[in-house]
Amino acid sequence: MGNRNVEEELIEDFDLFDDWADKYEYLISLGKDLPSMNEEKKIEDNIVKGCQSQVWLTAEAKDGNVFFEADSDAIITKGIIALLVKVFNGQPAGDIVNNNLSFIDQIGLKDHLSPNRSNGLVAMIKKMKAYALVLNKA
């Protein structure tokens, strides 16, 4: 279910770092690697509600798989959405909807986020799964 290999790779990558300062640096580097979204896509309709910072998210289906584009104005948040895009991008809609994202607990991410960022993470996941549901029916 889901993109197991990418999730396992991420768990291994996070395990390389002993403390959360380094893990945050890694998260920020994931965000920096995420391509910037075109400004014309940064509209109200594409904002993920429930995030403290601005997060924009779009999705499209190609050949039965869902592809996401995302951006944020905050570096940690951009790293978090980049992490999710890495796992979900190019996956069948059904796999996205059914993925329990256990890797998030395994890397300890939720334990190290502020309540606001943790709520934002949940909001991002919900929005990505909602897109997948809609595109699955299309």
Positions annotated as catalytic residues are 51
Q: What are the angstrom distances between the C-alpha of 97 and each of 40, 104, 129, 133?
A: 28, 16, 5, 7
Go through the chain and tell me how many residues it has.
138
Q: What are the angstrom distances between the C-alpha of 73 and each of 29, 65, 101?
A: 14, 27, 24
> Residue 69 phi/psi, 5° resolution?
-130, 135
Which residue from 81, 67, 76 is spatially nearest to 132, judged by alpha carbons? Answer: 67
60: tokens are: 């499209």
Spell out the alpha helix ranges (H) of 3-138. Answer: 4-15, 20-33, 75-88, 93-98, 102-106, 115-137
Beta bridge partners of 57: 70
